[in-house]
Amino acid sequence: MASKLGAVAIVLAVMAVVLALNPPTHLLRPPPIPGAHDCLHASKVVPVGGTHGPESLTFDPSGGGPYAGVADGQILKWEGDERGWVNFAFTSSQRKECTRPFAPELEHVCGRPLGLRFDKKTGDLYIADAYFGLMVVGPDGGLATLVANQAEGEPFRFTNDLDIDESEDVIYFTDSSTTYHRRQFLNAFLSGNRTGRLMKYDKSSKGLKVLLRGLAFPNGVALSKDGLFLLVAESATGRILRLWLKGPNAGKFDIFADLPGYPDNIKRNSRGEFWVALHAKKGPVLRFLLSNSLIGNFALRLPISLQKLHLLLVGGKAEATAVKLGKEGEILEVVEDKEGKTVQFISEVEERDNKLWIGSVMRPFIGIYDLN
Ligand X SMILES: *[C@@H]1O[C@H](CO)[C@@H](O)[C@H](O)[C@H]1NC(C)=O
Binding site for ligand X (CB under 6 A): 179, 193-195
> Which residue's CB is nearer to ligand X, number 195 or number 235?
195
> Which residue's CB is nearer to ligand X, number 179 or number 269?
179
Burial of residue 140 (number of CB atoms within 10 Å: 0-12, 13-18, 19+): exposed
β partners of residue 233: 240
14/16 Cα distance (integer angstroms): 5
CB of 176 to ligand X, least distance (A): 13
CB of 169 to ligand X, least distance (A): 32
> Which residue's CB is nearer to ligand X, number 25 or number 179?
179
Spatial neighbors of 290 by CB under 8 A, at least 6 apart, are 190, 236, 237, 296
CB of 15 to ligand X, least distance (A): 22
Do 222 and 290 meet the contact criterion of CB atoms below 8 Å apart? no
CB of 214 to ligand X, least distance (A): 7
- What's the angle, vertex CA 353, arms to CA 87 and CA 221, rounded to 5? 65
> Which residue's CB is nearer to ligand X, number 194 or number 352?
194
Which residue's Cβ has the minimum distance to ligand X?
193
Hey, which bits of 166-237 come out as E strands?
Answer: 170-175, 196-202, 208-215, 218-223, 229-234
> Which residue's CB is nearer to ligand X, number 157 or number 279?
157
31/17 Cα distance (integer angstroms): 23
Q: Residues 14-41, buried b or exposed e (16+ Cβ, 10 A)?
A: ebeeebeeeeeeeebbbeebeebebebb
Do 221 and 174 meet the contact criterion of CB atoms below 8 Å apart? yes
Which of 81, 56, 41 lies closest to 267, judged by CA?
56
CB of 179 to ligand X, least distance (A): 4
CB of 292 to ligand X, least distance (A): 14
Handedness of CA 261, 198, 142, 92 (dihedral sign): negative
> Which residue's CB is nearer to ligand X, number 179 or number 184?
179
β partners of residue 323: 276, 334
> Which residue's CB is nearer to ligand X, number 194 or number 239?
194
> Which residue's CB is nearer to ligand X, number 197 or number 363?
197
CB of 194 to ligand X, least distance (A): 5
CB of 192 to ligand X, least distance (A): 7
> Which residue's CB is nearer to ligand X, number 194 or number 281?
194
Do 201 and 217 meet the contact criterion of CB atoms below 8 Å apart? no
CB of 360 to ligand X, least distance (A): 28
> Which residue's CB is nearer to ligand X, number 24 or number 153?
153
- Residue 67, amino acid: Y
Strand order, beta sheet including 133-137: 113-118, 125-129, 133-137, 145-148
Neighbours of 62 (CB within 10 A): 10
CB of 365 to ligand X, least distance (A): 35
